[in-house]
Structure 1
Amino acid sequence: MSTEEKPLPFIYQFMAGAMAGISEVLIMYPLDVVKTRMQLQVGIGAQAEYKGVIDCFSKMIKREGFGSLYRGIVPPILMEAPKRATKFAANDEWGKFYRKQFGTEKMTQSLSILTGATAGATESLVVVPFELIKIRLQDKNSKYKNARDVLKNTIKGEGIVSLYNGLEATMWRQSIWNAGYFGVIFQVKSLLPKPTNQSEKTRNDLISGFVGGTVGTMLNTPFDVIKSRIQSTPRIPGTPPKYNWALPSLVKVFSEGSFRAMYKGFVPKVLRLGPGGGIMLVVYNTTMNFFRGIYYKKEKPARKNEN
């Protein structure tokens, strides 16, 4: 087994995933804000306030200032370390588990998809409260001052369990995205020329991560739309929420605006998670290789028996 393939303890996977996630969010966050704004508007076409990505960027900066593009960034920064760390570490650990269960040493296409989906479900348990706070801050009509204000008022008005509103939709979203992301990465890497140096490895990571992020986004956007709507609306005791469970909410969104409504915010989302997927994979693999260089020290050659 080559040095690049040798496994590392969970803590190293966790740290590498954290660094990958924070790098991605610092670079790509404004597109996430634009995506949420476009997902939360009800009208489509001429009735929509934001006509596209550029129009949304322009109106936000003009009306709310440049800082609005980074509104709600604190929860993602706090979330990215455990979120991305859980994503990559869970993917590695579930991969080990499935390979052992199926009696194979190497990952296959189907195992990559299964492992990614399971890792996504695991990741959901970590991200839901952070996502809820972020969505409520990014909303144009947000009444909250900061993340702490969202947390305090949500718990006070809806109870602490409400922090997990949208868990089911988030599991759908994360499982589908991760299955597409890691499954496509496996396939694309198998089609690319085998790298012979670090530069070529980085190139393959960027290409496969970009394609994986793009495909994952194409697959999971409808569930991201309904997750945003479920989490943006406070729960009022005695009043049934407009959006609740994932599949019925999908039907409702479709009935309100056709298939197009289910892909609101797709352009900024794919512009973020396509390149972002490449950035994450490069940072993760580079960091893991750095850790391997520390963890697996070269063994000194055994001394020959002088007798």
Structure 2
Amino acid sequence: MSASNVSLLRETSRQVVAGGSAGLMEICLMHPLDVVKTRLQVQRSKMDAHNYKSLGDCFRMIFQKEGLFGFYKGIIPPILAETPKRAVKFSTFEQYKKLLGYVSLSPGLTFAIAGLGSGLTEAVVVNPFEVVKVGLQVNQHTFTEQPSTFAYARQIIKKEGWGLQGLNKGFTATLGRHGIFNMAYFGFYHNVKNIIPACKDPTLEFLRKFGIGFLSGTIGSIFNIPFDVAKSRIQGPQPVPGEIKYRKCLKTMATVYQEEGILALYRGLLPKVMRLGPGGAVMLLVYEHVNVWLQKNW
């Protein structure tokens, strides 16, 4: 193997390890907000007695009925997926950025397009895990009463198979969700970080990067949440058992808009921002620090 190939392999390995570390840290800290977001997104009628009245009510009801572990339902699929998912997210972003360097594009556009490419690639890896995660998150039984992650995955495969109606349902919505988020997330972060001067003081520099990362995650969340709502509707339980109402991404968004109004497409935005604002900052900072440490020590 040539020296250049060894160097490329080592660089990619560092990106994989740093990305996996960033993802694992983010999911462990922020998963409870993902559970709350999913519960709010799958609600359809405010008249339903089982519905949550607000963000606070959702937190309270989950804790009262399902206990503390209720906030960690569906955490195994994202933990299992986080290392490859975030590794793909960050390493493909870096590789797409390199490839786009051969094209005459502005740096700002390069960051955004590389982010879009990384998001689409990430979606391919993560979608089966998302199907299992959403199914477990919307299950309102206690933690001990619901099926295990692997039992639920086997149940989906047995009943619906591996395809777009089974373990890969909601695939186009996942493509939209991750593609748009990463385009805004990486595009905003790297463009703004290059505009705002770095601080000599380590604390101020940390706050500068954290603030930009927080805004990056927030903006990405605002742009992609209609796709997130569609994904939750498609991958979650259907309104009438045995009858599939939500099947295709754009049609699902149109149905939600027609039946429930425009605000329904932004349901769960607050917990999503509460998660992916600080979570987005955590991921970028952990990735950068781990990557720098690996460059010095490996």
TM superposition score normalised by structure 2? 0.89
Q: Tell me if 1:218 matches 2:222.
A: yes
Amino acid of the structure 2 residue aligned with 1:150: Y
Asked if 1:261 is matched to 2:264, the reply is: yes
1:72/1:146 contact within 8 Å kept: no
Matched, 1:112 2:117: no
Q: Does 1:209 align with 2:208?
A: no
Maintained 8 Å contact 2:177/2:224: yes
- Residue 9 of structure 1 aligns to a residue whose secondary structure is helix
**1:75 counterpart (70, 74, 77):** 77
Q: CA deviation at 1:203?
A: 2.4
Are 2:129 and 1:130 equivalent residues in the alignment? yes
Corresponding position of 2:297: 294
What's the RMSD between the two structures over aligned residues?
Answer: 2.2
1:166–1:231 Cα contact (<8 Å) kept: yes
Secondary structure, aligned partner of 2:261: helix
Report the counterpart of residue 11 of structure 1 in structure 2: 13
SS of the residue aligned with 2:244? coil
Deviations 1:179-225 (A, max 9, x none): 11011102321332223354444223211110000000000001000
Residue 289 (structure 1) shift: 0.6
Go from structure 1 to structure 2 and tell me whether the alpha carbon gap of 1:90 and 1:270 turns closer, same or farther (over 3 Å shift): same
Q: Which residue of 1 aligns with 2:103?
A: 101
Tell me: CA distance 1:63–1:210, structure 2 relative to 1, closer, same or farther (3 Å).
same
Deviation by residue 1:52-101 (Cα, 9 ceiling, x = unmatched): 22110001111111110111111111111111111011111110111123
Question: What is the rounded CA distance, in whole Å, between the counterparts of 1:47 and 1:187 in structure 2?
Answer: 46
Pair 1:156 & 2:158 matched: yes
Q: Which amino acid aligns with 2:177?
A: R
Is the contact made by 2:139 and 2:146 (CA closer than 8 Å) also made in structure 1? no
SS at match of 2:122: helix
Check conservation: 2:111, 2:191, Cα contact below 8 A: no
CA contact (8 A) 2:177 2:225 kept: yes
Shift of 1:47: 7.3
2: CA distance, partners of 1:28 / 1:215: 17
Q: Offset of 1:48 from its aligned partner?
A: 7.6
AA paired with 2:102? K
Identity %: 37
Displacement after TM superposition at 1:144 (Å): 4.6
| SS at structure 2 position matched to 1:51 | coil
- If the length of structure 1 is used for normalisation, what is the TM-score? 0.87
Q: Does 2:275 match 1:272?
A: yes
Rounded to whole Å, the distance in 1 between the matches of 2:45 and 2:92 is 38
Aligned counterparts of 1:35 and 1:170: Cα–Cα separation in 2:
16
How far does residue 45 in structure 1 lie from its aligned partner after superposition? Answer: 8.3
How many residue pairs align between the two structures? 284
Question: Where does structure 1 lack aligned partners over 5 or more consecutive residues?
Answer: 1-5, 296-307
Structure number with larger C-alpha Rg? 1
Deviation digits for residues 162-183 of structure 1 (CA, Å, limit 9, x no counterpart): 2111111100000000011011
